[in-house]
Amino acid sequence: MPRLVFAGLGAACVLALSCQVFQGPAPSAFGPTAVGTAEPLLPAVDAGPPAPPLAETLAWVEGGALPAEPEIADPAVQRVFTHLSERHTGLSRREILRVARAIVEQASHREIEVNLVLAVIAVESAGYNRAESSVGALGLMQIMPATGEQLAREHGIDWRGPATLFDPVVNVTLGIAYLRELSDRYDCVPTALAAYNWGPGRIDSRLRRGASMPQLYVDQVQRAIDKVEQEGGASS
C-alpha cells in the first residue's frame, strides 16, 4: 500500500499517473458544500488562541494547580500534541494527548503523512472538536453522520449515533481511514482530497464527463500543510 503524501504538488497525482473511476453508490460527502455554487464553502483555518477547558479554569480560580504537562516519550506524538494544544480544540490536555497518539498511530497504520492529517483538520474544523457544519458534518475532521456510521461498521467501531463523531479519537480514526479509502479509490491524492470535500459521487461524475477537478479545497489543504511545516512539522 503506497504511503499517502501531499506536499507542494498542486493538482498533480502522486500515487499513479491516472485516476480511476469506481461505479456504484458513493458514501456521503464530508465537509460543507454550498448548493448551486462552483466550489464548496470552506471553514476558516484559524479559530484564534485556545481557551482552557472549564475544569482547568475552575481549578485555577479556586487556587488549585493546573495539571502538569504530560510526559510524552514519542517525539511524533509530542509534535502533534504541541500543534493541537495551540488550537481552540475545546478539549482537556489529557484528551489532546489521546488524540495526538491516535493521529500518529492511525496515520502510521494507514500510511498517511501526519502533516496531511493535521492540515485536513485545520481546514475542516480549525481544530475545534465540537465543530458542526451547516450540512451536519461533525467533529475535527467534519464527518457526515451517514458516512461515519458506514465507516464505523467497516472498521469495527461502536456507533452510538451522530454524537459518536464528537469523540475526537473516533473522529480522527474514521477520518484517516476514509482518506486512505479515497486515496486507494482514485490513486491520486488531490482527487482524493476533492472527494473528501465534495463527496465521491460528485467527483465520479466529473471524471466520467472529463471535467476538471475542484481545486479550491486542495489548495487550502496545501497551504495548511505549509503552515504545519513552518511551525516545526509533525511528520512521522
Q: Do 92 and 68 meet the contact criterion of CB atoms below 8 Å apart?
A: no
- From the candidates 62, 86, 105, 124, which is the catalytic residue? 124
Q: Do 198 and 39 meet the contact criterion of CB atoms below 8 Å apart?
A: no
CA distance 69 to 90: 17
CA distance 63 to 66: 9
CA distance 176 to 151: 11
CA distance 230 to 197: 25
Active site residue 124: yes
- Which grid cell sits at 121? 483538520
Q: How many angstroms separate the first and last alpha carbons of the chain?
A: 17
Phi-psi region of 52 (alpha: psi -120 to 50; beta: other; left: phi over 0): beta
Closest CA to 171 of 206, 205, 135, 144: 144
CA–chain centroid gap for 17, Å, is: 25
Question: What φ, ψ does residue 225 adopt, rounded to 5°?
Answer: -60, -45
Burial class from Cβ neighbours inside 10 Å (0-12, 13-18, 19+) for residue 37 reads exposed
Q: Active-site positions?
A: 124
